[in-house]
Structure formats: C-alpha cells, structure tokens
Structure 1
Amino acid sequence: MKKVLVLMLAMLFFLSSLAVSPVTFAKGNTNTQGFKSELRAIAKKTYSYFQAYTDPVSGLTDDAVRFKDGKGTEAKHTSPTNIGMYLISTVSAQEMGIISREEAVSRIKTTLKTLEGLEKWNGLFYNWYYTDGTLKKDWGQFISQVDNGWLSAGLIVVDQAYKELNGQAGKLVSAMNYTPLYDPVVGQFRGGYYVDKGELTGHHYGMFYTEPRLASYIAIGKGDVPKEHWWKMYRTLPAEWDWQAQIPVGPTVEYDGVPVFEGHYQYKGTSFVPSWGGSMFEGLMPGIVLKEKELGKNALGLNNQRHVELQIAFAKEKAYPAWGFSPAATPDGYSEFAATPLGTSGYKDDGTVTAHATFLALEYAPNEAYKNIKSLKDLETYGKHGFYDSVNVVTGDVAKAYLALDQGMIMASIANYVEEGVIRDYFHGSDIGRNPEGLLKKEVFSIQ
C-alpha cells in the first residue's frame, strides 16, 4: 500500500511539473548555491561507493555491489571503463572538496602503479580484471575499443589535474595504440579484438551518436587514426537501409573532402540525430569530457539538448512519474532501457528509469533535473551511496545496486555542473583533447 501511495504522489508531482511544453523549459533559479549544495551532498554520498569498494592495494574498484536484506554482495572484477570513471570521480571529488588533494593523488598513484603492471595488448587493456589486479582468464580475453577510450579519458584528466602524475598517466596513454582496431578500408573502428582467438570482431562501430565516439576522438587526437575517420561514421544510417526505425531525411554535406549524410529522424515534430538504442548514456556520456555543448553548438551539443528534451517528452507521453532512460541494473540483473523512439534500433521501455540519466542531463535541463531528483527520492531510491541504480516507475521495484560506471557518470556530471566544466577543461587542456576540436566546431546537423 505504501509503495502504491508513493507512486501516485510522485506521478501527480511529475505531471504537474510538466504543464509546459516538453521542449520549452522555463528559465529557473537552479544555479543557486542551495541547489549546488544539494548536488555536492549527493556527490559525497556517491563517492562513498568508491571509498568503500575500491581495493586499497590495487586501487581497482568493484564493478558493482548489490544489497539484499541490508547486506552487500560485491562483483569483485573491474573494466577499463570502471577504472577510468574511478579516476575521473576522484578528481571530481577533490574539486568539490569531498576529499583532499593529498588523498586524491595517493589514491590515483595506487591505481596507476597497478595499471603499469597489468597485462595488455598493444598498450590497450583487457576488458576484465579481478580487483586484485589479475586478468580474468575465463571471460576477459577481449580488447574493447569503447572501454579503452574511457580509460584513456580518465588518464588524460589525471595527467592534466596533477602534474606530479604527469609522467605516469601520460606514458600509459601514449602506449595505448588504437591503430590495430581501425579498419582503414571502411574508415571505422572494429568493436574490439579477441586475443584468445586472434581475430577482430565482425562488426564496426559505425553509428556516430553513440558512446564509442569518445575513443574515436581520442585516437584522432593521438594521431593513431586519420581525422577523416570522424566523417566516416554514420550520423544516421543510409536512407536505403529500410529496416531502421525511421527513414531519415537530410542533405549530404562534404567535410574535409568526405561526403557526410546529415540525416535526421523526428519525434513529436522535433528533429534529432538518433543513437543506436535511444538511451541517455549513448548520447550524453561522451560530453562528460568532450566540449560538445560549448564547441558543437550546431551539431553534437544541439543534439544532446534535443535528446534530453525528448526523453522528458517521452516520459510525459507515458505518464511516468520520473524520466531518464538508459541501460541499468535491474532487481535480477542488468538490461538496456531507452526512450525507444530516439534509437535506430531502439532499446525497450518498461518504465525503468535510472538516476545517471538525470545527472547527464543536468547542464541541458537543470530545472527538470532538479524536479526529477526530487521524484526519484520520493520513489525511495536514495540510499547509503547515493541513488540506487534504477527504479521501475510502473511497479515501484527498486534495483538496490550500485554500479561503478553509473556512479562515475553521476560524479563527473555533478562536478562539471557545480565547478563549471572542470572535467572537460582538464581533458581539453591536453594536446589529445585540443587537437581535434575543429571537428566539433565545423559540423552542422540538419536539425536546426
């Protein structure tokens, strides 16, 4: 009965907050010290996950922890993405005054020492390691392009934030050679490499508006692949591929001598470039470190804004009491969720929302994020280490789990909001972050 009452109250609050058009947001006063103080308090709880579940000897963070009957069960393995998010989260925690600079440097030194000794392939890291620093031999024999991109990003941020770590972090990034994963014939990256089989994946990362674009940007910035690669990814899939969710329309434009189909979809009369699944982290996670909002005003930044607005509109259409659709833990496992119409091959929607999606949207819709944070708290999703990973707003079921990846997205998003883009500034302060900036500036999506 209590769960039903909570859902009804949250739904009434949400519907009343969306009395305006879903894509016309009121200018509010969320940039106040009060709101920022609340965000810092959330960040402090969120970072406590990394403090509690990072191995003190290896400096590697558990992939996840699940709570049942008040007892936590840790998944004692980690990935390159998790490591990168721990590094970025630790910088974020120090910038927000949650930990001292001395603690941040000490923590990161431990992690860097472990990274130096880990087994690698062409300087790239395997997809899974035990948190004691040993390779998972059973299902860790894969080199992932996207996961290594996030580890590179974390190392670049550390390299810029702490000059005393510059040599260690910079050397690891320099050694990460993305060239063997690149297909020069197609102009796209393979998804990865199976070390045990000695073969690349059969698929390419062809969709531009998905999270692998960060590794693409980094590989261009390092000089591992040519800048033309940026233009060889699909903004939308070709119009003749009629199996996709919509048939895209738009012009073909030439950039750096490469023809690019600047196609788009529409939802509720609004044009946008789709992601693969329609989830928030595909679209907005790269913007944690890339200055898409600042430099890509006519392309990625604008499209990020559209995806936030349309995720909120999708929730309103469904009469959900909260919004934010992205892959997340469930009570029994993990699954992919999305605002389905925003994807080329959209992920499912069953009413599951995840907190990290709200925080990724902070800089694009702060008022709506503020309201959604309250809705998520009303849905009893706020626990010891911040927000539990997901809640089904139809059933009220909460996934009482914390994931290193999702905690990291929350930490970095809050830091960028309250400290005015600090993580992006560190990333773009490096040559790797700065070199390809022209690619972000020059493009114009056909969604104006």
Structure 2
Amino acid sequence: MKKLLSVIVTTVLLTSLCIPWGSQTEASPEGTEVARDQELNAIAKQTYRYFEDFTDKSTGLPFDAVRVEGEVDTKEYTSPTNIGMYYMSTIAADELGIISEEEAVAKIEKSLQTLKTLEKWNGLYYNWYFTEDGSLMKDWGQFISTVDNGWLSAGLVAVGQAYPELNDQTSKLVEEMDYTQLYDPEVGQMWGGYDVAKGEMTAHHYGTFYTEPRVASYVAIGKGDAPKTHWWKMERTPPAEYDWQSQTPEGHTETYDGVEVFEGHYTYNGEKYVPSWGGSMFEGLMPSLVLKEKELGKNALGLNNKRHVELQIEYAKEQGYDVWGMSPAATPDGYSEFAATPLGVMGYEKDHVVTPHATFLGLEYATDEAMKNIHKLKDMDAYSKYGFLDSVNAETGEVTQAYLALDQGMIMVSIANFLKDGVVRDYFHSDEIGKKPEELLIKEEFSIK
C-alpha cells in the first residue's frame, strides 16, 4: 500500500508541476522512462476530454473542430474520418485507463446505432453529416471520399476486435462498405472518390503510394474488394522520365506478384526516402496508426516512416525553427497544408507552421526528439484544457486557438500505441481484413538503405 501511495503521489506531482521527464538529471533511465510515460498518459487524458465534451450526447458523433478564441465556436458536423478516429481514440482511452471498458462500449454503441441510420451510397459514407441528427450536409456536396471511408473502416475493424460484443455490428457495417465501386481495374488504383449528385468519379486516382489513402487500399484488399496487385500499382515515385516532379528519382525495378514496380527514391542531404505527395507528416505516418508498418515493413514502410521523421526534424533545424513537425493543420483563419517541402513529390509550399499531431506520429521513431519537442510546444503555450492546440507558427510563435477531432485522434492513438506496444495496430491486425494483406508489408524492400 505504501508503495502504491508513493507512485500516486509522484504521478500527481509530476503532472501538476509539469516536470519534463528529461530534466531529472539524477534519475535512472528506468525512472526517466516512468516519468515520460506518466506525462504522456496525462496528455492523453487531457486530449480525450475533447471527445468527452464535444461529441453529441444523443447521436455519439464527434464535432469536427472547436475554436476557443474568445467565445467557444463548435463545428457541429463530422466526417467518416472523424468518426473512425473517435472510435480508435475511445479504445485508446480505455487501454490507458482514462475510461472504463464499460464506458468505452457504451460510447461506441451509441455512435454505431447512429451510423446504421446515416444516408449512404453502396454502404459507403458521405463526407459530411450534421452531428445533431446525422442528416446529410447537402450544401457541402454529396461526395463519397475513398480516403475518409478507409479511416472509418479501420476504426470499425479495430472496435470489433477490441470489443467482441460489438463485432457483429461493426463487421456488418464494414462488409456493406463496397470498395469495388471506387476501384478502377483498368488502372489498378482507387479513384479519389465519387460525386453522387453529378454521378461522376473524380478526375484523379490515388496513385502515390506513400500517402494516407493506402489505408483504404489495404482495407479494400483485406475485404477482397480489390486484388492484391492493386498494392503494387501505386507509385513509390513517378517514373524518372516524369519531369514535373520535384526531383528526378533513382532506383530499380522489382517484380511483386507479377507486377513490375519501380522502387524509386528521392535524396535529401544524402538520405534516401520514398516521398509522400506533399511532404507532410500525416500523409506518410498516419497509416502506421493501424498498419504494422514498423513491425512488418522493416525494409520498406517502417524504414521510410523513420526516415521521414528524421528528415522533418532536420528540415526544421535548417529553417531555423525551434520546433518541428509540419502537417496540414488549423490556422487562425482556416486550415492549410504545411510540409517539409523537399519530402514531397509535389511538395506543399508552406513550411512555417508546425502541428503537435506530427510530433506524436513520430513518437515511436524518434522518442527523445519527440519528447523535447513536446516540452518546447508546451513552453510556447500550445497546451491547454483539451491537450495541444492545433498549430504554432514557428516564425512568430502564434498559437492557433483550435482543436480538430482528426488531430486529437492522431495524438490519442499515437500515445496508446507507444505506451501499450502497438495496441490499436494489434486490434486491427487481429481481424482477417488486417491479417490477409500482411504479406504485402513484409515482402517489399524500398531502395533507401
């Protein structure tokens, strides 16, 4: 009992005083790790308050965003990605002891009941719904997004494995989500989405491999809605002869499952990497919240994730910034795309704003640097009632007084995966949809060693 009391007192003191885990010069490595983990758990507790306070009590749908500059302004609409991230965040909160399993099941169950009633197209969900009653936001169009449905599917799969009593419901919803409608067999890639009002697919496919839509591709393959050859039809880099890309790639051609793949890479400061489209952190690393890229893709996606984190850190230092982590985020007057520009095929031009969710996505790959960045962001007054505010201007220090469900979700799941040995990934891969395509992660080797 005395030992338990001592641990509780230490935890309270560390949390209330915000003592940085790395500042205890006399602490043992083991003690330092304990303090670090306690701090991360405390951050997760603050972060999950967003979902507790800004999820509709009757529908169980999370608000897209909340701005807290002056009077609180709640954005009471949501997307399939927000819902999927809410589910995974609730699993994370349960695993971290923030809420009980019974509370987690009740929260998700309420949301699932609403999900069953939402207007859909071939089992796939529209991009925007009002949280108050789940009605479709028709003024914002009638678009079916491939990437957003992928994240909802991933969240449902994880829930079904975390809580077996909900598996029948989640499995039925995922089975009804028909990705064959979004797959183009002639090209071997997924369309960006479908405009139901116009009756048209988007003009573009998701052709760049190292971007966040690969979760939808993985799910579609796991379900059997797309063949495994689809995985190899996406481009690691565009072919070298495409002169519109930001640099000419080098590499070689490999054959996987009968498909020739150009294993291309870019180079930045002597380091090789496979680029994302824009060079932002969540394009590259958000999929690793559910896909076992670190564990299974040691010579491909896992290695590339590590490389992107390291290069994001290096790029920020070169720009003279005290903090790092560029990724699309809220700004004082809206939302914009930010990136470590050289890391993209067509890199986003803006690079002066960092967002905390990018740091947490890098937590498993550069732990010490991530913790230092977390403390710097706290010192810049970017930490408040609901955890980290959404972005900081690295040039002026201005903090955007907003929280986004998507970004809060990425922080929650990143912490749970770090503290609980990839727990959300484990749940996702426990389902046949997660298991079936694992060989695709294992067999590939990028040309970046």
If the length of structure 1 is used for normalisation, what is the TM-score?
0.93
Give the SS at the match of 1:265.
strand
Alignment of 1:131 with 2:124, yes or no, is no
In structure 2, distance between residues paired with 1:181 and 1:199: 11
Give the SS at the match of 2:190.
strand
By how many angstroms is 1:31 displaced? Answer: 7.5
In structure 2, distance between residues paired with 1:328 and 1:237: 27
Q: Render the CA deviation track for 1:377-423: whole Å, top value 9, x for unaligned.
A: 01110011000000001111110100000000000000000011000
By how many angstroms is 1:35 displaced? Answer: 0.6
What is the aligned partner in structure 1 of residue 14 from structure 2? none
For the 8 Å contact 2:130–2:137, the answer to whether it is kept is yes
In structure 2, distance between residues paired with 1:433 and 1:277: 27
By how many angstroms is 1:334 displaced? Answer: 0.3
Structure of higher RCO (CA pairs closer than 8 Å, 6+ residues apart) = 1
What is the aligned partner in structure 2 of residue 198 from structure 1? 199
Give the SS at the match of 1:65.
strand
In structure 2, distance between residues paired with 1:64 and 1:213: 25
What is the aligned partner in structure 2 of residue 98 from structure 1? 98
In structure 1, distance between residues paired with 2:349 and 2:285: 19
Q: Render the CA deviation track for 1:416-448: whole Å, top value 9, x for unaligned.
A: 000110000000000000000000000000001
Q: Which amino acid aligns with 1:117?
A: T
By how many angstroms is 1:30 displaced? Answer: 9.2
What is the aligned partner in structure 2 of residue 4 from structure 1? none
- What is the 5 A alignment of 1:242-391? 242-391=243-392
Give the superposed CA RMSD.
Answer: 1.1
By how many angstroms is 1:140 displaced? Answer: 3.9
In structure 2, distance between residues paired with 1:396 and 1:313: 20
Give the SS at the match of 1:61.
coil
By how many angstroms is 1:348 displaced? Answer: 2.2
Structure 1, unaligned runs of 5 or more: 1-16, 18-27
Report the identity percentage: 67
For the 8 Å contact 2:326–2:351, the answer to whether it is kept is no
In structure 1, distance between residues paired with 2:259 and 2:412: 37
For the 8 Å contact 1:298–1:443, the answer to whether it is kept is yes
Q: Which amino acid aligns with 1:112?
A: L
Give the SS at the match of 1:264.
strand
By how many angstroms is 1:350 displaced? Answer: 4.1
- What is the 5 A alignment of 1:107-126? 107-126=107-126
In structure 2, distance between residues paired with 1:94 and 1:31: 24
Alignment of 1:231 with 2:235, yes or no, is no
| Count of paired positions | 421
Give the SS at the match of 2:251.
coil
In structure 2, distance between residues paired with 1:109 and 1:53: 17
What is the aligned partner in structure 2 of residue 44 from structure 1? 45
- What is the 5 A alignment of 1:156-175? 156-175=157-176
For the 8 Å contact 1:30–1:370, the answer to whether it is kept is no
Q: Render the CA deviation track for 1:283-328: whole Å, top value 9, x for unaligned.
A: 0000000000000000000000000000000011111010000000
For the 8 Å contact 1:326–1:336, the answer to whether it is kept is yes
In structure 1, distance between residues paired with 2:59 and 2:380: 36
In structure 2, distance between residues paired with 1:125 and 1:334: 23
By how many angstroms is 1:184 displaced? Answer: 0.4
Q: Which amino acid aligns with 1:194?
A: D
What is the aligned partner in structure 1 of residue 212 from structure 2? 211
Give the SS at the match of 2:255.
strand
For the 8 Å contact 1:85–1:404, the answer to whether it is kept is yes
What is the aligned partner in structure 1 of residue 10 from structure 2? none
For the 8 Å contact 1:285–1:409, the answer to whether it is kept is yes
In structure 2, distance between residues paired with 1:425 and 1:436: 14
Distance of aligned partners of 1:228 and 1:395 in 2 relative to their CA distance in 1, 3 Å threshold: same
Q: Which amino acid aligns with 1:216?
A: S
In structure 1, distance between residues paired with 2:86 and 2:375: 26
By how many angstroms is 1:351 displaced? Answer: 1.7
If the length of structure 2 is used for normalisation, what is the TM-score?
0.93
In structure 1, distance between residues paired with 2:165 and 2:400: 40
In structure 1, distance between residues paired with 2:137 and 2:40: 36
Q: Render the CA deviation track for 1:211-230: whole Å, top value 9, x for unaligned.
A: 00000000000000100000
TM superposition outliers: structure 1 runs of 4+ over 6 Å: 28-31
